[in-house]
Amino acid sequence: MVKDDGFKKFLTRYKKGDVIYSKDELQENFFILNKGKIQLKVGDDDLILAALSKGDFFGEESLNESQKAAYTVEVIEDADIIKIPYYALIDMMNQSTDIGLKILKKQSEKNLRILENILRLSQPVEVPPPKPKKGKTEDDKTAEKVDPDIKAYLIVQRSNRIVQLTKKQTYLGRRDYTTGFIPDVDLTKEDEEKYISRKHSKISFSDSKFYVSEEPGAVNGTFLNGERLATSVKHELKNEDEITLCHLKITFKY
Supply the mean pLDDT for the chain.
83
**What's the pLDDT score for residue 123?**
56
**What's the pLDDT score for residue 5?**
55
Do 199 and 174 contact (CB within 8 A), yes or no? Answer: no
Which residue ranges form the domains of the chain, and what is each CATH number?
A: 5-122 (2.60.120.10), 138-253 (2.60.200.20)
**What's the pLDDT score for residue 14?**
95
Taking Cα atoms as reference points, which of 208, 210, 207 lies closest to residue 234?
A: 210
- Over residues 7-19, the pLDDT tens digits come to 678 899 999 899 9
CA dihedral 143, 146, 148, 151 (to 10 degrees): -120
> Which has more confidence, 162 or 213?
213
- Over residues 22-75, the pLDDT tens digits come to 999 988 899 989 999 898 888 776 777 888 888 888 988 887 777 888 889 999
**What's the pLDDT score for residue 128?**
46
Residue 105 binned pLDDT confidence (cut-offs 50, 70, 90): confident
Between CA 210 and CA 189 the distance in angstroms is 25
pLDDT > 60? residue 124: no
Between CA 251 and CA 244 the distance in angstroms is 9
- Over residues 141-190, the pLDDT tens digits come to 556 888 887 889 999 988 888 899 999 999 999 998 778 889 999 999 88
Residue 127 binned pLDDT confidence (cut-offs 50, 70, 90): very low
Between CA 254 and CA 121 the distance in angstroms is 15
